[in-house]
Amino acid sequence: MTEFLTTTISVLDIDADVIIAGYFSDQQTPYAAAISEGTDDFVGNLMNNGDFDANANEVLTLPYPTGLKANRLVLVGLGESKDYSPLIAMRAAGSAAKTLASKKLDHVAFFFPEENLTDAISGIVVACQGQDILRSEVKINAFEKVSVASENDADVREGHIVGRAINACRNLVNQPPNILYPETLAESAVEIGESAGFDVEVWDEVRLASEECRTLLAVAQGSDRPPRMLTMKYNGADETSPTLGLVGKGVTFDSGGYSLKPSDGMFDMKCDMGGAATVIGAMQAIAELKLPVNVIGYCGLVENLVSGNAFKLGDVIHSRNGKTVEIHNTDAEGRLVLADVLDVAVKNGVDHVVDFATLTGACLVALGLDCAGLFTNDQDLCDQFKSAADEVGEDSWQMPMTPNFGEQIKSNVADIKNMGSGRWGGAITAAKFLEEFVADTPWLHVDIAGPAWSDNAKKWIDGGGQGCFVRTLVKLAKQYGK
């Protein structure tokens, strides 16, 4: 694990393998001025001559710079100072760090503005972990030590914690399905809880049956791997404070069941537990930061496979809250898992509940690869979440929840069915299905089918699991109940 230390040593005097320095395109920071002076205006001339414009995420590496003790100087653009934001800080720092992470470096010195320093530190941590976790030799390496030019130990510590929590989420998503399945995901959550400081209770298939979690069990019955449900509790406030409930979909592999996916659509379905990973990562960050808030995380963990025992189209299942559900598509399984888990959460008395799920391809069609869909029965909760997401730079968009979409999930033989009428508005009809299981509790559903996973690497993060909305949940937890 990378060691992060603050330092007051000047950029000219610090002895490191590499210096990473953030540059605005329209103004000069004190360390940038010192670099220009120490290098006889070499760096200043690069900018004046258009060799480095300092556009956001632009990276230029200079080996063996004259006037510095470091072996290399990496310049990274921050864009115009008026536009500088947590997202730009994180991505710029990540872009620079990822450029260097192919090498094993002992000591990196980091010079960035004090503003948004937490996000920049998180960017370094995230950039230095890849999805090549099972290679004999990984291609992306974490630095041994990072000296941060700042006296703000608290912001550096928080950035390190949040970055590690994002990586914990990404690591879970990136694990192959023969290694990560309901039992082992539950074991990982227990280990994370013990380390971070939150309690974890695991329900096995016997407890799930006694708790009448029949829709969850129906999805799980096609697999030889037994299901699990997690309850993760962190109490950072007194008993009179409200409790935020977080719910995550944890389908560790989704074949589609009898509504079988084609191979191209099935290959990356190890990521279908991205909602559970988001909740676990957020719980880790909230607990390690010791935030003054009460949070309970719930995750339903199953595999959706095909066998002689798998649930079938036309089955009618009695859910935990008493509603009967007719199965019209076994690939619409995530909402069945969440139905029972949401019922557990609301009956345990959480004051607000936010669920995360890689739920629908329809949300991808509507909003693309990088934007999550928001669906709610409580506008204030949705606004709080959207504000937190906007502040840290994670894309989301509220979708309609009008009653006509609820009409589409009515069944002729049961109370409701697990699909709408045809393919249109599928992300909304899925959300209307979930709404049937939250009673009057203020609730927000976040469909992360797009941003939870990326087939391709970006300048600031490797492909695979993206760790989306961990930062948003930290921000939301800081503001919750105030």
Confidence tier at 375 by pLDDT (50, 70, 90)? very high
Map 434-465 to HEC letters.
HHCCCCCCCEEEEECCCCCEECCCECCECCEE
pLDDT band at 1 (very low <50, low <70, confident <90, very high): confident
pLDDT of residue 44: 83
pLDDT tens for each residue of 97-137:
999 999 999 999 999 999 999 999 999 999 999 999 999 99
Q: Is the same domain home to 119 and 202?
A: no
Q: Are 473 and 286 in contact (CB under 8 A)?
A: yes
In a domain, 166, yes or no: no
Residue 141: pLDDT over 90: yes
How far apart are alpha carbons 328 and 257 in whole angstroms?
Answer: 12
Query: Coil, strand or helix: which one is 357?
Result: strand
Task: Please state the rounded mean pLDDT for residues 151-162.
Answer: 98
The catalytic residue positions are 261, 335
The verdict on 116 and 179 lying in the same domain is: no
Res 455: pLDDT: 96
Distance CA 369, CA 356 (A): 16
Domains identified in the chain, total number: 2
Residues 186 and 78 in one domain: no
Average pLDDT over residues 245-265: 97
Residue 162 belongs to a domain = no
Domain assignment present for residue 161? The answer is no
Instruction: Flag whether pLDDT at 154 surpasses 90.
Output: yes
Q: Where are the alpha helices (DSSP H) in 101-243?
A: 117-127, 153-174, 182-196, 205-210, 214-220
Q: How far apart are CA 359 and CA 376, in angstroms?
A: 15
292 in the same domain as 346: yes
The alpha carbons of the chain give a radius of gyration, in whole angstroms, of: 24
Q: Amino acid identity, residue 309?
A: N
Q: Please give the pLDDT value at position 169.
A: 98
What is the rounded average pLDDT of the residues 11-24?
97
**CATH classification at residue 189:** 3.40.630.10
- Among residues 133, 372, 174, the alpha carbon closest in space to that of 268 is found at 174
The answer to whether residues 144 and 17 belong to one domain is yes
Q: Is residue 164 part of a domain?
A: no
In a domain, 186, yes or no: yes
Q: What pLDDT does residue 430 have?
A: 98
The residue-averaged pLDDT of 91-99 equals 98
Q: In this prediction, what percent of the chain has a pLDDT beyond 90?
A: 96
Q: Which residues pair with 229 in a beta bridge?
A: 203, 300
Residues spanned by the domain of 271 = 172-479
Give yes or no: residues 146 and 200 share one domain: no
Q: Tokens 């609820």 — which residue?
A: 406
Pick from 101, 120, 151: which residue ends a domain?
A: 151
Domain boundary among the residues 92, 122, 151 is at 151
Supply the DSSP symbol for 262: P
Percent of the chain with pLDDT over 70: 100
Range 415-439 average pLDDT: 95
Same domain for 460 and 428 = yes
Distance CA 144, CA 466 (A): 23
Is residue 27, in this structure, part of any structural domain at all? yes
* pLDDT the model gives residue 394: 98
pTM score, whole prediction: 0.98
Mean pLDDT, residues 219-247: 98
**Above 90 in pLDDT, residue 42?**
no
Confidence of residue 235 (pLDDT cuts 50, 70, 90): very high
Together in a domain, 145 and 177: no
Alpha carbon 309 to its chain centroid, in Å, reads 33
Spatial distance between the Cα atoms of 81 and 51, rounded to a whole number of angstroms: 20
pLDDT at position 298 is 99
If asked whether residues 122 and 188 sit together in one domain, one would say no
CATH of the domain at 13: 3.40.220.10
117, 151, 185 — which closes off a domain?
151
pLDDT of residue 224: 98
- Examine the domain organization and report whether 103 and 200 are in the same domain: no
Interatomic CA distance for residues 400 and 365, integer angstroms: 15
What is the mean predicted confidence (pLDDT) over 332-339?
Answer: 98
> Do 206 and 131 share a structural domain?
no
Residue 146 in domain: yes
Convert the pLDDT of each residue in 170-198 to its tens digit: 999 999 999 999 999 999 999 999 999 99
The reply to whether 354 and 435 lie within a common domain is yes
pLDDT single digits (tens) 43-77: 888 888 889 999 999 999 999 998 999 999 999 99
**299 belongs to a structural domain:** yes
CA 380 to chain CA mean position, Å: 22
Q: What is residue 47's predicted lDDT score, i.e. its pLDDT? A: 87
Residue 90 has pLDDT above 90, yes or no: yes
